[in-house]
Structure 1
C-alpha cells in the first residue's frame, strides 16, 4: 500500500492545530488537534512511499514509535486515505491505458470521495467496465442517459428503440442532427460508442473471426449473439419517448424483467413534468403494477382515463422541454451509477418529480401493493428507505 490523502478533498487549516478535509458538509471531515510534527508528516502522504518508508520518515522526524501506524489507522477510519497502487488487476489494466484513465479521472476522484475504504473507488470504476446496461428509448432522455453512462465508464451500454430519428429527437449529448432519418437504435448506438472513453474487450467468439478482424456490432447484431457471450444485464433503464409510458408505465411491458429478477429504473418527461424512478428491485420494491394498482385504489376512474390516453396514434409532437429532459437524464444516470457502484439511490421504491417552471424536485414514495403478484407486498414500508449523513472524526496529534 502507498498511502495518499485523497486529492479530491480540498484541505484547509481552520487554525494552527485543526485541519479540514473537504468543502461540502456531506463529505467534509475535521481533524484535530494536530501537532506541528504530525502536520508536517501529512505532506508525505502523497502516494510515493510505502508504509515501511513512511515509518522510517516518521522516526527521522522524531515521531514516537507506533505514531505513524496509529495516524494511518485514524485517517483510514475517517475515510481520508487512499492507496495510490490499489484497485486490483482490473484497475491495473486501466493504468496501462493512460488516455482512457485520463478521461475517467474526474469520475475516479468522485468515487474516492464516496468510498471510505482505500482503493475502493478504483475498484468500482474498474468494475463498471464489465457491466452491461440496457436503455429502452432513444429520445431526448434515453440517448443522453445511455451516452452519459458510457462516458462514465460503463463498458456495455445497449440501446433499444424502433423507427427512425425525427428532428425533435435531437439533443445535446444525445442524437446529433445528422442522424435525422436514420434508424433510432443504430444512431443511438453510434452516439454511445462515440461517448465511450474506451471500447471494452469483445466477447470471446471462438468460432468467429479474431478480434483484430471483428467489425463493430449493431444493436440488433449484438442481440443475436448467444446469451453466454454477453455479460448479464446489471440494470435496465426504461426511458420511453412517450412520456406517459414513463409517468404511468405499462405493467405488461416489464413482466419479463420481473420474472427474470432484473432491476429496472423508469425515467422520462410527460408534458412539463420530469420523472425519475422508481428503481424496481423485483420482489423487493414496488413495481409498475404496484403503481397502477395503488393509483386505481385512490382514483377508480384512472383506468378509464389511461385507456383513452393510450388509445390511438399520437398525432402531435409530445411536450419535452430540452432543459428538463437533460436534467432528467442526468439525474437518472446518477441514480443508475450509484446502483451499479453498490448503493441504493433514493429512487429505490420512490419516484422523483419536478415540474416546470419551478423545477422543485421532490420524492413520492411508491409502496408495494398487497394484491400485486410481484411479491414485494410482504415487505414493510420501512424496508424501502435509504440512509445518508455526514462524516465526522477527531484525531489527537
Structure 2
C-alpha cells in the first residue's frame, strides 16, 4: 500500500471511508480513493481480502467488529487502518452531528456541500467536517463596507456557516452597488448594512446577523469579533484600522480599485505587519506617498471601476482566506497581499514589519512573524 505521512489522528470508533472520495478499482490489486490530483490516494498491492476489508469500512461497525469478521489477520487489519487514518481517509460515524443543532432541515441540506468540502480539508478532525463547521458557527465576523464587494462577502460568509455576522455601513445603497449575490435593486435607498444583513439572513436564516447601528465599537471590548474585514466603498478610514489593531482584533483588508482587486494583508495584531507598516513602506519607496494618500482621502480609495466579475472574484477570494483563518489553517496573506484581475493575472506583494511602527510591540498569542521583503510594483 502507498505510504502516508504519519499524523496524530486517533482511530475512529466506527470507521468509514470518506464518502466524498470517489472509489476507482484500477485492477485486482489497486484501489484509488479520489480523482482530484490534490486529493487522490492510491492503495496498491492489495490482495482480495485486504481490498474487501477496505471496502467494508462503511461506519456501521466498530473496529473490533470489523477485525473479527475480516478475512485478513488482526495485524494486517490494524496496519491498513493506520495507513488510512494517517492519510486522512476516514471519518468516525460514531460522532454526533452537534454542529447542525438548531438548524432547519433545509439549512442542513444547503450546508451539505460545505460540510463535504470541510471533510476533505486540513481543518477536518476525522468527523466529516463537523468540528470545523461547529467552529464556524461559533465564530463572529464583522464586515466594514457593504458595497459590491463587502455585501457579497457578507452573504458568502453566512452561506459558508459563519454563525455571527455584523455589517457596518450606514450609507444608502445606490444602483451601482447592485450585483448578483449582493445587494438587489429593491435595496436601493436602504442603508447598505441593512440590505446586506437581509441578504445574508435570506440564505442563512439560522445565523445571528446584525448591523453597525446596534453594534458596539471594537474598543468597547464587548464580545470582540474573531475577524474583521475591511471592504471600503469609499476611502478607507485609518482610524477604524487603528482601533482594530489597538483592540487586538485580526483584520483583513479587501479592495477593488481601477480594475484591480487586492486581498490582504491579513493583520494579526502584535505578531504581523499592520496597515500602518504598509503605509510607511510605501512612503519609504515613494516620498510623495503621504501627499497622494491625502489627496485621495485615504487608501485604498474605495470601489472605483469595480466591475461585476472583478467584485465577485475578489469577494470569493477574500471569503476563502477569511474562512481559512476561522478554520485555524495557515493563511497565505498574513503580511502579504494579492493583486488580481478577472482574467486571472495575479501578483503577490510581501509587506514587512516597518522598523518605525510599534505595532508588534504588543504581546500576541499568534507567535512571531516571519519577515518579508517589499517588492516594487
TM-score by length of 2: 0.85
Which residue is 1:51 aligned to?
Answer: 63
Deviation at 1:36, TM superposition (A): 1.0
Deviations 1:344-385 (A, max 9, x none): 2211111010135x4312211111111111017999874579
**Contact residue 367 and residue 381 of structure 1 kept, 8 A:** no
Which residue is 2:27 aligned to?
Answer: 15
Which residue is 1:185 aligned to?
Answer: 193
Which residue is 1:72 aligned to?
Answer: 81
In the alignment, structure 1 residue 30 sits paired with structure 2 residue 42: yes
Among 111, 117, 134, the alignment partner of 1:110 is 117
Deviations 1:56-90 (A, max 9, x none): 221xxx211233232222100111111123267x3
Q: 1:118 to 1:383 in 2, by over 3 A?
A: farther
Q: 1:17 to 1:231 in 2, by over 3 A?
A: farther
Greater RCO between the two (CA within 8 Å, min separation 6)?
Answer: 1
Specify every segment of 5 or more residues in structure 2 that has no aligned partner in the other structure, as ranges: 1-12
Deviation at 1:333, TM superposition (A): 0.4
**Superposition map of 1:117-136 within 5 A:** 117-119=125-127, 121-136=129-144
Which residue is 1:238 aligned to?
Answer: 230
**Superposition map of 1:257-296 within 5 A:** 257-296=244-283
Among 289, 296, 314, the alignment partner of 1:302 is 289
Which residue is 1:142 aligned to?
Answer: 150
Which residue is 2:7 aligned to?
Answer: none
User: What SS class does the counterpart of residue 292 from structure 2 fall into?
Assistant: helix
Question: Structure 2: how far apart are the matches of 1:268 and 1:282?
Answer: 20
Which residue is 1:393 aligned to?
Answer: none
Question: Structure 2: how far apart are the matches of 1:140 and 1:113?
Answer: 31
Deviation at 1:121, TM superposition (A): 2.0
Q: 1:262 to 1:172 in 2, by over 3 A?
A: same
**Contact residue 224 and residue 249 of structure 2 kept, 8 A:** no
Among 338, 343, 347, the alignment partner of 1:352 is 338
User: What SS class does the counterpart of residue 263 from structure 2 fall into?
Assistant: strand
Question: Structure 2: how far apart are the matches of 1:129 and 1:187?
Answer: 22
Q: 1:51 to 1:98 in 2, by over 3 A?
A: farther
Among 165, 174, 179, the alignment partner of 1:166 is 174
> Which is further off, 256-265 or 67-76?
67-76
Question: Structure 2: how far apart are the matches of 1:147 and 1:36?
Answer: 49
Question: Structure 1: how far apart are the matches of 2:359 and 2:344?
Answer: 33
Deviations 1:268-303 (A, max 9, x none): 200110010111001111111000000110110111
In the alignment, structure 1 residue 100 sits paired with structure 2 residue 92: no
**Contact residue 166 and residue 212 of structure 2 kept, 8 A:** yes
**Contact residue 151 and residue 197 of structure 1 kept, 8 A:** no
**Contact residue 175 and residue 188 of structure 1 kept, 8 A:** yes
Question: Structure 1: how far apart are the matches of 2:257 and 2:246?
Answer: 28
Deviation at 1:50, TM superposition (A): 2.1
Specify every segment of 5 or more residues in structure 1 that has no aligned partner in the other structure, as ranges: 201-215, 386-397
In the alignment, structure 1 residue 362 sits paired with structure 2 residue 347: yes
Among 323, 335, 340, the alignment partner of 2:321 is 335
In the alignment, structure 1 residue 373 sits paired with structure 2 residue 364: no
**Contact residue 133 and residue 158 of structure 1 kept, 8 A:** yes
**Contact residue 286 and residue 367 of structure 1 kept, 8 A:** yes
**Contact residue 368 and residue 377 of structure 1 kept, 8 A:** no
Give 1 or 2: higher helix fraction. 1
